Amino acid sequence: MLDHFKINDWVIDCKRLTATRAQKLVRLEPKAALILQYMAARPGEIITREELFSAFWPNQVVTEDALNRVISALRKALNDSSTEPQYIATIRKSGYRLVADVKLTSPPRRSPKARWIFSLIFMLSCLVFFATLKLDDSILAQSAIPKLNGEFQRLTHSHQLKVMPHLSEDASQLAYIERDQSANTLVLMSVKSGDKLRFKKNNIAFSFPVPAPRLHTAFAIANLLGDPKSYTISLIDFDKRKVKPIFQLESESNGLSYHAQSNTMAFTQRTQHIVNHKVFLFNPLLASSTVLSSPPKGYSDSHPVFSPAGKEVAFIRTKSPTEHAIFTVSLDGNETQRTPYQNSITGLDWYNHSELIFTNEQSVYLLSGSGVHTQLFSPVSDQYVATPQVASKAGQLLLTFQHANSIGKAIDLTVGPTTYPLTLSNGSDSEFAISPDATRMLFASTRLGKKTLWLRYNNQLSSLGDVHFDEIYDLVWSSNSQLLAAAVKKNNQYGTLIFNIATHKWDVHWQQHFPLHVIGWDKNNRIWHSSLKNGTWELSHSLPAQNIEIWQPKISVYQARFTPDKKRLFYIDAVHQALWEWDFTGAPQKIALPYSMTLNRNWDIDSSGVYFISKEGALNYFNTNDRSIKQLIDTQNAFTPIHRPQLRLYGLIGTQQVVSYNDFWLSNLP
């Protein structure tokens, strides 16, 4: 596979994702660059569509449009024509052929002119530097904003789903997890040579690996499958093929960080029967841990990261599925909120002693010590960026680039564990809701670039005009299949959207800037909600035609579901790991959940129990009478737990995430 080559008069650089001709430079999408690289290795040969789908979308359910879009993007970048091709020819009913001449080229070098310009810039920078010596010390303390120009080195080339990367401080080693349908594999990679060590045990699940100081070793969270209380911080020796437990955790963890100079670790866990995670500090020499963070009730902390000096820990605090903020905490427990709450912060790391780099899927940002964030890099269209990792000693930044969409999936519970696709899209379809009369299906999608509602009726699919929001979730139908309610978010304001099937009109009842969940419709056609007010999740209900809301302040409800007959409400609170049953008259009754069962948005109920999706994406059933758990689908990633599933008739509908591209890339920081 060629990294640098020339096709006709275009110079292709697959490492920098660029195509250059004369003075024109064009950016290439990662998937397009990979397919062009693949075809350049076999110029003149017919490469079938089936081969391309197998190579670049393995084990994925995608439409023909996925490949069509990439080829179209390539032709547009190269100024090629499908009718008179100079580069890529379509072979009817077969595939494609690269018809251009391919020549090997050397990696680009900086020209004398570029060196002269660089020298001039350097001298000017020196002048600016000495001029700024007279400025205030607080200004001098701010580091230069790093410039990311898209010149990334690709580190991995596999089609497996790769998550939880951790780059060593000297950028010599990279630890991460490879996931497949049955288990996960711990990988320790040499960044320089690309050599990989793999460790896999069928009875152990690993998460959040960190390269350890000793050669061919790594720290990780290890869980003995089948034992929900067996989570440990462990040392994995790749040479001896051994897992050595270091510290027993009280629950699963949402992050692990290691500071080599102080030989301490930061991790999260929840204390028994408490849902929210806290950040803990662990000293291996003393074999003891202390609590660092103090999230409010119903909030949860994740992704702890030590500062370079080890005196602070940064982490992400979540107060609802759509509200995340970055906090830091000193080793004596003093917390500082560094960002306002916002959508989907996907990762963070320290850039230096005071500044942080974080991602939110669409962009990479630098967060200053004063709270100002500056956009550093934005990927090409249809590409997500996540999990920033800064190698402070080497001055390098690792990012995960991926293309992921989501589709609707359904299972017929009377037949077996087979799931069936409801939609096929290059956008993200989610939050599926079929009407009680089974004639219509509504869902949220980004097919038009922004999140909007889509309706399927009489085998016709259409979007609902200009219903665009930042978030659309909790879609629930009225009993007569005439009205649909949904929670929406726009410009950090939440509201309840009501859509009328008969008139095809919609209206939003906006609330304040506090998170909102829509529960459903009761037998009196009232809509029930749970809202975060004054630090507590409160229950309320209202009629669509009225702006009057009646609150139930004595009951704290985070997520809730009605039984099919609407006579009972099952709910979870935001503090304790428990399920509650309420008949609207007496006191709610507590149903203790198994320790391995965690509920958030990942569940629905029938008259006898709870259907829930595990964090690995398997579907399970919890019988509330005998407290037994039955696994209905053991395939990982059958459904995603971040979107609400719904029972309908004799089946369940939900969302599955489909990742078609997922690799790690490395860039230099100035």
Angle at 617 between CA 619 and CA 478, to 5 degrees: 60
SS3 (DSSP) at 349:
strand
DSSP state letter for 342: B
Q: 28 near 35, Cβ under 8 Å?
A: no
DSSP per-residue string spanning 357-403: EEE-BS-EEEE-TTS-EEEEE---TT-EEEEEEEETTTTEEEEEEEE
Q: How confident is the model at residue 188, as a pLDDT?
A: 96
Place of tokens 């072979």: 91
For position 134, what pLDDT does the model report? 32
30, 152 contact by CB (below 8 A): no
DSSP code at position 275: -
Residues 6+ apart with CB under 8 A from 644: 431, 473, 474, 601, 602, 604, 654
- The answer for residues whose C-beta is within 8 angstroms of residue 295's C-beta and 6 or more apart is 276, 277, 278, 301, 317
Task: Quote the CA–CA distance of 298 and 282 in Å, as a whole number.
Answer: 24
- Identify the bridge partners of residue 420 per DSSP, sorted by sequence position: 410
pLDDT of residue 181: 63
How many helical (H) and strand (E) elements, i.e. helices and strands, does the chain have?
Answer: 5, 54
- pLDDT of res. 371: 85
Looking at residue 308, what is its pLDDT? 94
Sign, CA dihedral 207-267-400-407, equals positive
Note the Cα 344 to chain centre separation in Å. 8
Cα–Cα dist 310/353, whole Å? 9
Q: How far apart are CA 496 and CA 490, in angstroms?
A: 11
Four-residue CA torsion sign, 53, 55, 57, 58: positive
Q: What are the residues facing 592 on neighbouring strands?
A: 578
pLDDT, averaged per 10 consecutive residues of the chain (670 residues), comes to: 84 86 84 88 86 78 77 89 86 86 70 39 33 30 43 81 92 91 84 92 91 94 82 95 92 93 93 82 86 90 95 94 92 93 90 92 86 81 82 90 87 89 82 93 88 89 83 94 94 90 88 88 92 86 82 88 94 84 92 84 93 91 91 87 91 89 84
Specify the pLDDT at position 121: 31
- The first and second tokens of residue 341, run together, are 């709450």
Q: How many C-alpha atoms does 161 have within 13 Å on its Cβ side? A: 17
